[in-house]
Amino acid sequence: MFRFQKEQKVYSLHGIKIGGQPGENPPLMIASLFHNKDSVTKTDRKGNFDRERTKEMLRQMEQISGATGVPAMVAMVANTPEEAKLYIDFYLENTSMPFGIDMWVAEQRAKATEYVSKLGVQDKFLYNSITPWDKDIPGQVKRLKDLGIRHVVVQAYDDADQTPAGRVKSLESILGQGADSFQTVIVDTSVMNMPSTSFSLVANRLIKEKHGLPCGGAYSNGTHMWKECKEKWGLDGFRAMDAVVQGMASALWSDFNFCGPAVTAPRVFPAVASAHILLSTLVYDESGVIFDNPDLPIRKHFADFIAKMQEGGSRKKGK
């Protein structure tokens, strides 16, 4: 269940390892800033936003990332290339974390990506994303390659076949149009709502089994779209539901997680770290392996337990 025969690809995004066998690397958390109704930045989309509060939020993300062992980056939401430029400049001045730009319109996204290339920061930039709805995928790939873009997200989804297998077919179609030629290719298996998150997780497993590519999803899409949850269970109930879904999803064949607003990091990161600790012991029970990665949450927080567990396992095997 937690060991793939297919060799698993591991990529490096500005020093952050993404991918591998389950339990090998903690999942990368990709939080959002400057989204609509962002309580942190309070942007007016014209370059006016709460810079001090946003700096504080970036420092908070860095701190909780270091404390939990869960790596972090930010995807900044922008409507125009001009707006994206303002956010990119601010971000690069205030943190060394990698970043992405979240723009739905492909042409606008391309212009913002040109600015990333002009700055020469392609190593820390994750292009989000090449999608099944893009009209000219080969043309987009060529343009990105010409700009020196190295790290891309491919979104896998099939409107006509919304099963996990449909996501696999969608991915293979996009890869066949040149999207497999980048230094880093990670797959977003498209969360549509909270209960269908399971389809994305099964798709993660299928894709890792067949292609060995790092997979994940925007699990916060499903939780935050369930607006009735707050009405039924209140804000605390929503927070609990969100943390459980994102933690559980991150433990089931996920190498990254678009985890929602940056303001939620103090509760989401510990949830994901806890889930990954449980994943590590599940992997150990199945394979006898605890990976050597010193950044694993279980090594960070339960080193003594690992030593006792491995010593006990050795004794049981008569070693």
Number of domains observed in the structure of the chain: 1
d(CA 137, CA 145): 12
In a domain, 3, yes or no: no
302, two tokens: 């339960």
The per-residue pLDDT for range 253-279, each reduced to its tens digit, is 999 999 999 999 999 999 999 999 999
pLDDT tens, residue by residue, 142-155: 999 999 999 999 99
Q: Where are the alpha helices (DSSP H) in 37-80?
A: 51-68
Q: Is residue 162 part of a domain?
A: yes
Beta bridge partners of 217: 257
Q: How many CB atoms lie within 10 A of CB 110?
A: 17
Q: What is the mean pLDDT of the chain?
A: 94
Q: What are phi and psi of 22, to 5 degrees?
A: -50, 130
Q: Which residue has the tokens 């029970």?
A: 285
- Are 91 and 74 contacting, i.e. CB atoms less than 8 angstroms apart? yes
Q: How confident is the model at residue 313 (pLDDT cuts 50, 70, 90)?
A: low
Residue 192: which H helix or E strand, with range?
none
Average pLDDT over residues 21-43: 95
Report yes or no on 5 lying in a domain: no
Are 65 and 16 within 8 A, CB to CB? no
Identify the band that residue 319 occupies on the pLDDT scale cut at 50, 70 and 90.
very low
**Residue 300 lies inside a defined structural domain of this protein:** yes
CATH number of the domain where residue 21 is located: 3.20.20.20
pLDDT at residue 318 in the model: 39
Q: Which pLDDT score is estimated for 311?
A: 82
Residue 306 lies in a domain: yes
Residue 146 lies in a domain: yes
Confidence class for position 37, pLDDT limits 50, 70, 90:
confident
Which of 55, 63, 48, 103 shows the shortest CA–CA distance to 81?
A: 103
Tokens standing for 12?
A: 């490096």
Taking only the tens place, the pLDDT of each residue in 196-242 is 999 999 999 999 999 999 999 999 999 999 999 999 999 999 999 99
Express as a percent the part of the chain with pLDDT over 70: 98
Task: Give the residue numbers spanning the domain of 195.
Answer: 10-316
Is 113 within a domain?
Answer: yes
Which has the higher per-residue pLDDT, 104 or 114?
114
Residue 100 has pLDDT above 70, yes or no: yes
* Domain-embedded: residue 4: no
How far apart CA 99 and CA 269 sit, in angstroms, is 17
Element (H, E) at 33: strand 28-33
